[in-house]
Amino acid sequence: MSSELLDLQTGADVASVAAWTDRYTHAVMDTFGPPQRVLVRGEGCYVWDADGRRYLDLLAGIAVNALGHAHPTLTAAISAQLGTLGHVSNFFGTPTQIALAETLLSKAQAPEGSRVFFTNSGTEAVEAAFKMTRRMGPGRVLALEGAFHGRSMGALALTSKQAYREPFEPLPGGVEHVPFGDTAALEAAFSAQAVAERGPVTALVVEPLQGEAGVRPLPPGYLAHARTLTADAGALLVLDEVQTGVGRTGSWFAYQQPEIGGGVVPDVVTLAKGLGGGFPIGAVIAYGERAATLLGRGQHGTTFGGNPVAAAAALATLGVIERDGLLQQVHDVGAQLREQIELCGSSLVREVRGRGLLLAVVLNAPVASEVAAQALEAGLIVNPVAPDAIRLAPPLILTADQARDAAAFFAALSLPTDAPTDTPTGQEA
């Protein structure tokens, strides 16, 4: 390894955050804006910037780093696999790829005939699922207002925010957005009149909790009703669990919680984010023979999807979650974090919503960006996911003491005297 690369990987390069930020702005395409900090290393739930400051990571790379940073089991699994067999293309199978597919089907309690398709990211998983809906024949694909499913062209067609869509229109057609959580509107979209006027519904694509819209959970019973409507229409029920899957809400999949899913069995589930614990991998789980055979040979593909290194990372991540009882920890620490912030006494905190360790602190004013900046200065990484909401999606290994530290930050917040009082809700970041 070159000495320069080693210095970069170990953080031995002594350039400051300011110096790295200047180099970033001249070398990296400006699609994200300047970085808030340049980070050089991580350990557990903490990361350090190039100036040596430590931060409690309450975002985990947007719900990705399920095991935190530099987890020894994950790094050992990736190193061992890369030292054995790194990439083979999908002309060949590998034991890790096959074992991961079997493990996901088991966690999903998928019926006989179910299958898995591997991708590199969440948007690619949604893209594959979107192509599966096209195989159901001509008709409409329903998605919800407020939905975020990704930024590739198909996933963008399912995403509702106009600011994301307009610069890239025309998008793939046949997608219809219905009001969030409104069962009457959903029934109307499936009605005989709607079918006569606009064609049959071939699929409903929905997130159990809308993460990018401010961690908004669907009303109880909505998914069960959606399952009935889609089943009666012969349409697919596609659940986007890219952000909510892999233990994020305290169960392997959010829909498996009775209060969220009501016992539904979906047709398709998309996964990514936490699946590889920080290593890029996504997956599409097709439930049953009908969904599993929608994409035939040659109708879809991927170069890296199911790569043995990514599959090893995912198997290690799932294994640690199970071995260390992290589903229960997510439930317990998430409940503690929620309660402590709700009772913190800050006049700026209105409520906390979400599930497990995917939470939004809803504020009494649209000052989320200012609060996130204050948090960063205080040594906490959070995300202003909506003008009035702070998203918390820490590593699943977050401890009770670290949750207490996070709650202490919110306890010290107060409503600025000049803050706007017209509070928008449900706006995507």
Question: What digits encode the pLDDT tens for the residues 60-94?
Answer: 999 999 999 999 999 999 999 999 999 999 999 99
The pLDDT of 130-157, averaged and rounded, is 97
172, burial (CB in 10 Å: exposed 0-12, middle 13-18, buried 19+):
middle
Residue 423, pLDDT score: 42
Contact present, 396 and 248 (Cβ < 8 Å): yes
pTM: 0.94
Residue 7, pLDDT score: 72
Q: What are phi and psi of 195, to 5 degrees?
A: -65, -40
Residue 282, pLDDT score: 98
User: In what helix (H) or strand (E) does residue 150 lie, and over which residues does it extend?
Assistant: none
Asked if pLDDT for residue 416 goes beyond 90, the answer is no
Q: Single out the residue of 138, 139, 142, 168 nearest to residue 156, CA to CA.
A: 168
Residues 147-193: tens digit of each pLDDT: 999 999 999 999 999 999 999 999 999 999 999 999 999 999 999 99
Mean pLDDT of the chain: 94
| Residues, the chain | 429
Residue 15, pLDDT score: 83
Residue 427 pLDDT grade (very low, low, confident, very high; cuts 50, 70, 90): very low
